[in-house]
Structures are given as C-alpha cells and as structure tokens.
Amino acid sequence: MRGNPEIFRRRVERFQELLRENEIDGAVIRTLSSFIYFTGTKWLRPALLIPAEGEPIVYVVKGEAELFGEKSWIENVHEFQKVEDLMAGIVGWIHRNGFQRVGLEFGVERDAYLLFLKVFERLNPSIEIVDVFGITTGMRMIKDEWELENIRKAGKIAQKGMEVAGETIKPGLSELEIAAEIVRELMLNGSEDPKVYVSTTPRAHAEPFRDLRVPENGVVTVVIGADYNHYYANMARTFIVGKPNERVKRAIDVKEEAYRMALEETRIGVSLASVERKLSGFFRDKGFADAYLAGYTHSVGLLIEEPPITTIVVPQRATKVQENMVLAIIHPPLMIPEGAIKHEDTYIVKKEGIERVT
C-alpha cells in the first residue's frame, strides 16, 4: 500500500476517540475521500464501518478482497455480490453490536447520497443518525508531513499541466481539445484522477465544452487539480490570446494586486473572514465590486476543494488559519464580459510563512 499503515491506523484510533467523546457508537463511511483518509486507498462505492471501539470493517464487491488487502492495512474485509447483501451486512453490524447512535457524513461529495440516507433510515428506524462530517473534516483540515509531501508532488505535476496549457492554447481550438492535452500530461506524470476546467467565456466553474472555441482575441482560463497518492494541488491561470483590451488589462492588474494582498494577510491566527473583508473592500475601491465572487480561499487535500470552503459555506469563513493547513489562494475569478480572470495557487501554512506549492 501507499504510505505507512500506522498513519492510517492512528487516524482511525483518533476518529474512534472522537466518536466516544460524542457518544456515537459507530460510523458508516461512504464518502470516497474519507474512505481514502482512513483506509489508505481509493475504492469506488466504498463502505467502511468504524466502531467506537474495535477493528474497522470494509465491504467490497465479490472478487475484490485480495487486491484491496494489498492496497490497505485493514484486514477485516467482507465481499458482497448483491447490494442487498451490503445493506444487510451494515444493518447486521449495527444490531449485533447494539448500537443506538450511528454516524454518517452529510457532505457535498459523490457517494454522500440522500438516497442512501433514506434507505438507511428505513432499515434502521430505531437508530439515531448523527452527522460526523464535522469530525472527519476537522481531522483532515490539518495535514501531516506525509500528506504535505504528496501535495508538493502533486503541485509539480500541476505545473507541468499548466505549461502544456500555455503551449496548446491557440485560436480555433475547443475547450475540450485543450483540456484533453492537459489531462494527458497530468496522467502521464502520475495523476490518477485529474480535474481540468477550461473556459473561453465568463464562467466561474467551467467543465470544458466541445463547441466553445478560443477566439482570435480573447481570454482563456484554465484550472487544474492534479493528484498524487490521492492528494491534490490546485492552480489556475488566465491566458490572453491576441491583444487584450483595456478592461482585461485592468482586471489582470487588479487581480495580481489582490493576490499579493491575500498572501500577505493569510497567516496563522487570522480568520478567513477578516481577509475576505479586506479583499472585498479592495475590489470595491478598484471598481470591480460587481465582478468579484466572494470567498477568497478553500482548503485542498483529498479533494480539490474541501472545508473550509469560503465560496459556498459562509460559516466556514470564521475559520482561523492554522499551521499545516493547505489553502488555494485566490480562488474566485473576476467575472468580466471578456472572461473569467483568475490566478490561483496552492499554499502550505507554516509558522515562518506560507509555502508555495504551485
């Protein structure tokens, strides 16, 4: 497996301590990123059962147990052939152990489905369901050195992808064609699940279209999330094709000044909200109040965008910067008619300052 098994065992033990502190008997982990965090490997449609005391259990599809055993430290692996068997296994585990309060994650990620919650409630009508999303994200927010090293390696891969973007972009190419070249470079350098967004129009989050093409004189924004050992680094750049008009030039200058301001203001002990207020005031003073999308940063780790996500979860802006947080700065673009003006890099927060990854 990738990484020392003790890293993941300690995480499970710490999670179990937190379950006991919150009087939760056990947790069913279905979200992929948390599954990776505890098991050490990526496995689609995961099911990890962690009791407050005792050994965790993993359910995989029939025929997968041997390979999973090579990829993870967890020894108690059960196979299922029908999804009914999986659900029966989870229900049986709960009732055999007499659990009364069981944790689930209510997040925004794939496999955190409302449908699963409804099925779970129907099969366990007497069980109190507790959201453990705050527990798992609280643990994941501060990275250990093994995680940081993976993120640094991911950063090097992301930079190679961005170099290819600069070499590829030319008038007439579609967003999809550009993205394909970048994804190829990322995968050839070891990124197993890269995320690439290309925008030739003013779109904040732009999965590439095959029928949108680079204009003769235009703006192209590329966002890259490259992973290494499942950990991401995130970066974004805006490329100018041909001759930019004065509004584009002005937006780029203002964005660069805001980028430097954000780097200076983001330090240990400072709340993300206080930095956000300064940036909002800055863009207002520069005449770009209507172009700035609030939420200047988010964490990066097992997801390209994970808590604190200041763009979409307003209460998380109250989070204070801590050592070994990994933050993407500055996240939102300036949305002008010509396109989305963006400059984003991944940074590691350290006592002596913030370390640039991309």
| CATH 3.90.230.10 domain locations along the chain | 145-356
Closest C-alpha to 347, from 265, 274, 253, 292:
265
Residue 119, Cβ density class (10 Å: 0-12 exposed, 13-18 middle, ≥19 buried): middle
Q: How confident is the model at residue 256 (pLDDT cuts 50, 70, 90)?
A: very high
pLDDT for the residue numbered 40: 96
Q: Which amino acid is at 293?
A: L
pLDDT for the residue numbered 227: 98
State pTM to two decimals: 0.94
Fold (topology level) of 5-141: Creatine Amidinohydrolase; Chain A, domain 1 (3.40.350)
- CA–CA separation, 121 vs 174, rounded Å? 46
Q: Is residue 151 within 8 Å of 188, Cβ to Cβ?
A: no
Instruction: Give ∠ CA 261-262-265 in degrees, rounded to 5.
Output: 85
pLDDT for the residue numbered 313: 87
Fold (topology level) of 145-356: Creatine Amidinohydrolase (3.90.230)
**44: pLDDT strictly greater than 90:** no
| Mean pLDDT, residues 97-116 | 78
Q: How far is CA 237 from CA 93, 159, 217, 251, in A?
A: 49, 11, 17, 13
Q: Is residue 307 within 8 Å of 326, Cβ to Cβ?
A: no
The pLDDT mean for the chain works out to 94
Chain-centre distance for alpha carbon 135? 16
pLDDT for the residue numbered 115: 62
Q: Is residue 7 within 8 Å of 40, Cβ to Cβ?
A: yes
Q: Is residue 341 within 8 Å of 244, Cβ to Cβ?
A: no
**110: pLDDT strictly greater than 70:** no
Percent of the chain with pLDDT over 70: 98
pLDDT for the residue numbered 120: 77
Q: What is the DSSP letter of 293?
A: P
Q: How confident is the model at residue 1 (pLDDT cuts 50, 70, 90)?
A: confident
Residue 85, Cβ density class (10 Å: 0-12 exposed, 13-18 middle, ≥19 buried): middle
Q: Which amino acid is at 200?
A: T
pLDDT for the residue numbered 205: 78
Lowest mean pLDDT among 34-48, 136-150, 250-264: 34-48
**94: pLDDT strictly greater than 60:** yes
pLDDT for the residue numbered 237: 97
| CATH 3.40.350.10 domain locations along the chain | 5-141
221-234 pLDDT, tens per residue?
999 999 999 999 99
| Mean pLDDT, residues 278-301 | 96
**206: pLDDT strictly greater than 90:** no
User: What are the phi and psi torsion angles at 2 (to 5°)?
Assistant: -90, 120
- CA–CA separation, 157 vs 88, rounded Å? 42
Q: Is residue 56 within 8 Å of 102, Cβ to Cβ?
A: no
pLDDT for the residue numbered 84: 87
What torsion do the CA atoms of 6, 39, 234, 278 make, to the nearest 10 degrees?
-80
Q: What is the DSSP letter of 307?
A: E
Q: Check whether the bond before 208 is cis (ω within 30° of 0).
A: no
Percent of the chain with pLDDT over 90: 85
User: What are the phi and psi torsion angles at 323 (to 5°)?
Assistant: -60, 140
**246: pLDDT strictly greater than 90:** yes
**112: pLDDT strictly greater than 60:** no
Q: Is residue 217 within 8 Å of 247, Cβ to Cβ?
A: no
Chain-centre distance for alpha carbon 102? 25
Q: What is the DSSP letter of 330?
A: S
